[in-house]
Chains A and B, each alone.
Chain A
Amino acid sequence: MFEARLTEGAILKKVLDSVKDLVTDANFEADPTEGFKLQAMDSSHVSLVSLKLHADGFAHYRCDRPLTMGMNLANMAKMLKCASNEDAITMKADDAGDVVAFMFESPGQEKISDFELKLMDIDSEHLGIPDTEYAVTIRMPSAEFKRICSDLATIGDTVAISVSKEGVKFSTTGDIGDANVTLRQNSEDDKEKMISIELGEPVNLTFALRYLNSFTKATPLSDQVVIRLSPQLPIVVQYVVVDVGYISYYLAPKIED
């Protein structure tokens, strides 16, 4: 059987809000040692989301054997919306069951809610993501990244991200004109405002803003976002929830035909 309790249930609500617009149906994997995981592609197979909540990130975690739980994410989101932000959330499933149960407990235990979501059989392709050294690693405030993506999407459909010693430049072009936003590394002690750029070699890649904007739905999970780039490789946009887990998005670059 599988049973996992998150005292801060709001994290699970935010995690779901971060993936439900990108992915319709997905298999969650509960693993005895690793924790609660999901890997899924969007319907166009252009992007991939990989999320993991570590087993020891839960207040209580029990998983007797690996368990795959196929869920419709919109329906899961409907149920989690019924939990208050202050509630603890417990997920439970039997090894051979066809439902997953969500229990929401208010902080004073004066309200307990039980919801059961029907599981589905989902054929999903699992991709192996190699451990790669990336040419560039950028750390910046997640709200700043969200702002840049949404601003540029009002001008154009794609963003060219070029990283050099000068900093990182986000550029777009549209019918009404052009836009460029350049960020430079700073020496902020305040971690929330820190911008750091680790540069192995200069990189210039173009991505669809629609997907990057969808990734920024994870902004409430973390004050900082980590962006990794290498020539000719998908961008990685990662939000880390300290001591709990992470959500990483991968997006294939646009290429010149």
Chain B
Amino acid sequence: ATGQRTISSFFAST
């Protein structure tokens, strides 16, 4: 199965 990551797991909050 494949899962969907969130975009905020790649880019840090500023």
- Could you give, for residues 1-14 of chain B, a 1 whenever the CB lies within 8 Å of some chain A CB and a 0 otherwise? 11111111111111
Distance, CA A208 to CA B4, complexed state (A)? 8
Distance, CA A14 to CA B12, complexed state (A)? 29
B6 shortest CB reach to chain A, Å:
4
Q: List 21 A-B contacts (CB under 8 A).
A: A46-B4, A46-B5, A47-B7, A48-B7, A125-B13, A126-B13, A126-B14, A127-B11, A127-B13, A127-B14, A128-B11, A158-B2, A208-B4, A234-B10, A234-B11, A252-B5, A252-B7, A254-B2, A255-B5, A256-B1, A257-B1
Q: Which residues of chain A have C-beta atoms less than 8 A from B8's C-beta? A: 41, 45, 125, 127
Distance, CA A125 to CA B7, complexed state (A)? 12
Q: Which of A105-141 contact B (CB under 8 A)?
A: 125-130
Q: Which residues of chain A have C-beta atoms less than 8 A from B11's C-beta? A: 48, 127-130, 234, 250
Q: Which residues of chain A have C-beta atoms less than 8 A from B12's C-beta? A: 127-128
Distance, CA A48 to CA B6, complexed state (A)? 10
Distance, CA A252 to CA B2, complexed state (A)? 12
Option from A44, A125, A251, A257 in Cβ contact (under 8 Å) with B3: A257
Q: Flag if B7 contacts A46 (CB, 8 Å).
A: yes
Known: A129-B11, A250-B11. 7 other contacts (CB 8 A): A46-B6, A127-B8, A127-B12, A127-B13, A128-B12, A252-B10, A254-B2
- Could you give, for residues 232-257 of chain A, a 1 whenever the CB lies within 8 Å of some chain B CB and a 0 otherwise? 01100000000000000011111111
Q: Flag if A252 contacts B1 (CB, 8 Å).
A: no
Q: Which residues of chain A have C-beta atoms less than 8 A from B7's C-beta? A: 41, 45-48, 127, 234, 250-252
Most buried by A among B2, B8, B11, B12: B11
Distance, CA A158 to CA B1, complexed state (A)? 12
A142 in the interface (beta carbon within 8 A): no
Most buried by A among B7, B9, B14: B7
Distance, CA A47 to CA B10, complexed state (A)? 11
A19 shortest CB reach to chain B, Å:
15
> Nearest chain-A residue to B13 (Cβ)?
A125
- Could you give, for residues 201-239 of chain A, a 1 whenever the CB lies within 8 Å of some chain B CB and a 0 otherwise? 000001010000000000000000000000001100000
